Amino acid sequence: MTVSDHKPPPVPDRRPHSLVTHGDERIDEWYWLREKDNPEVIAHLEAENAYTDAALAHLAPLRNQLFQEIKGRVMQTDASAPYRDGDWWYYARQVEGRQYPIRCRKRYDPAGPQSPGSPDEISGDEVVVLDENIEAGDREFFSVATTGVSPDGRLYAWAVDTEGNEHYTVQFRELTTGEDLADQIPGTYYGLAWANDNRTVFYVTLDGAERPHRVWRHQLGTSPAEDVLVYEESDERFHVGLARLRSGAFLSVTSHSKITTEVRLISTDDPTGDPVVVTPRRAGVEYTVDHGDDTLWIVTNDGAADFRLVAAPVADPSPDNWQEVLPERLATRLMDVEVFASHLVIHERHEGVRRIQIMDLHSGELHAIEQAESVSTAMRGINPEFDSPLYRFTYTSMITPNSTFDYDVETRERTLVKRQPVLGGYEPADYRTERRWAVASDGTRVPLTLAWKAGTRFDGSAPCLLYGYGSYESTVDPSFNTLRLPWLDRGGIYAVAHVRGGGEMGRAWYESGKLEHKTNTFTDFVACAEALIEQEVTSPERLVARGGSAGGLLMGAVANLRPDLFRAMVAQVPFVDCLTTILDEDLPLSVIEWDEWGNPNDPKIYEVMKGYSPYDNVTAQDYPRMLVTAGLNDPRVSYWEPAKWVAKLRTLKTDENQVLLKTQMGAGHGGPSGRYSYWEEEAFNLAFMLDAVKGT
């Protein structure tokens, strides 16, 4: 049987649903696919999965080969570099054949190694903190998101999601005995913090719109029904976050929208005390807070578009008492500052590249941690110890495996603690990476990061995979990924389009790709594709585009704009029905998204969004071959968005190219949770892309 013999399932019955906004009527013929409890909907998704499996059955040998290649690159029995927290070294072990990590610890010895790269370098007995494989059992999905050890190192808290919907249950374990406590707190979200009494735990819960809005206090040994509400955020545009600051003196409760922040502090020595506001929220003003001694260190955009650093006394941190430490600097986006006893670690982005600087708190001297490659990424590691003179960071590039270093801030010497092992004879010198530029329709220069294997021809004949995201000021920094190697080793080129809407080039880069300027994100991606073709990196017959979530919206918009530029597209959990979703205030996260995309109840924003919404702009034209994914339990992009989009594409498009939908029926936004399952999924995607460009 050939691929053409496989027929897609019948397009779901059209059941017109009228959507009227500002007097403009839109007819949504597949609106009914939102009915998750409708057996017809589940049957349709399962039929789509069966069709996708049948249509791509001929790729089974290639998928297996790719999966074996991926496995063959990974040291499947390995351990992370241990990090010190109090009296213990903590690390995670992976064991061949097991899906999930085993979280462990060993006792810290001041006379022992201070930068061990492996648990084997640490003497003493290993204590298994949490074996996720045992906890997962035979569950289809299992994800541990938030963990925390009590300040005395005796108790362990972790939060687990078993459905993929990002609703977590917090559990507790006595580490000296390995016994689990009776306490269980269901319905929680990311964020977990201990007070200094080692018995009080703070956590976050969601409202009906999946918005983290409440912080609670739990006393071990009591029922969650008796937990105390510490803070509730009533403004629907704001999320709540929770963290314990490194100094150990405070917990921070952060209310944040896309454009405004307000931070409250709770003394860890007085967990029943009221949260104290650092500085009241002001529209458009963002700030983060860290603590050391009697000073709060505040990174803010107040008076600085690309942020500045100020210091304020703990006793009265109001803006009148701010003292500027680092002013806003040209072409430099200040992202974050970490506070330690003797120094600050400053994270910034200079001309699109992440870098780390160290400031001595006694002398005020500032110096950068120099890196080997210009197109690379240096980012924070795990550093719980407030008094440590060693700072752990991770260095990577498109061709350099993730490398963990300990940097002595006094001597400026670095120690390579661990480099990600890559099996199969991988040598970075056999690969190349560089920065190129495209020119957008308005003349803006858009950066592109490329990676390829030495010897790949730049004559337009090479397959190229172009990846993009471009929303929420998120950045796609150059980084290494073994999952990319099968593409590169087959002569493919991997490219990242750093389009507007991301944060690669500073706050203005983000601002010019959101709200009424959102279409810049899409035209930038088109410009990057055109540049790759004009520079003979690839050709339209060999170019594949890929993106997920908001990057899936990018795929949908670009498919409508310039389908002729691409042979195929992979759109993962794509946010393609954005206008209908954001108009529905009852759906999860809709109101929160107004600061990013705009409020379509405003006629001007409505017209902008209607002009690019992928689902609303599908038209009778040729489209590339497409693989579209969804997660039935996805709380971020509902499964019906990709399902409706695929149905509409199949109805209107004028070509014979396949449009395939694959829905994870037991997972959410991130896809499968186990590492082997994730690798199998990536082999599936890679096989689709390689097959698309084969022989063209």
Catalytic positions, please? 549, 634, 669
How wide is the angle at C-alpha 587 spanned by C-alphas 583 and 593, nearest 5°?
60
Q: How many CA atoms lie within 13 A of 609 on its CB side?
A: 25
CB 349 within 8 A of CB 506: yes
Cα 593–chain centre separation: 17
Q: In this structure, are strands 543-548 and 568-572 parallel, antiparallel, or unpaired?
A: parallel
Residues 58, 55: Cα–Cα separation, whole Å: 8
Residues 540, 533: Cα–Cα separation, whole Å: 7
Surface-to-core class of residue 254, CB atoms within 10 Å of its CB (0-12 exposed, 13-18 middle, 19+ buried): buried
- Using CA atoms, how far residue 520 sits from 165, 212, 464, 498, in Å, is 32, 31, 22, 12
- State the alpha helices, DSSP H only, in 535-634: 550-561, 578-583, 594-597, 603-612
Residues 4, 192: Cα–Cα separation, whole Å: 52
Q: In this structure, are strands 568-572 and 625-631 parallel, antiparallel, or unpaired?
A: parallel
Main-chain dihedrals φ then ψ at residue 267, nearest 5 degrees: -70, 130
String of b and e for 453-472 (b: at least 16 CB within 10 Å)? beebeeebebbbbbbbbbbb
Cα 111–chain centre separation: 38
Q: In this structure, are strands 431-439 and 390-396 parallel, antiparallel, or unpaired?
A: unpaired
Q: In this structure, are strands 493-497 and 464-468 parallel, antiparallel, or unpaired?
A: parallel
DSSP string, 363-379: T--EEE---S-SS-EEE
Measuring CA to CA, which residue among 549, 482, 543 is closest to residue 683?
482
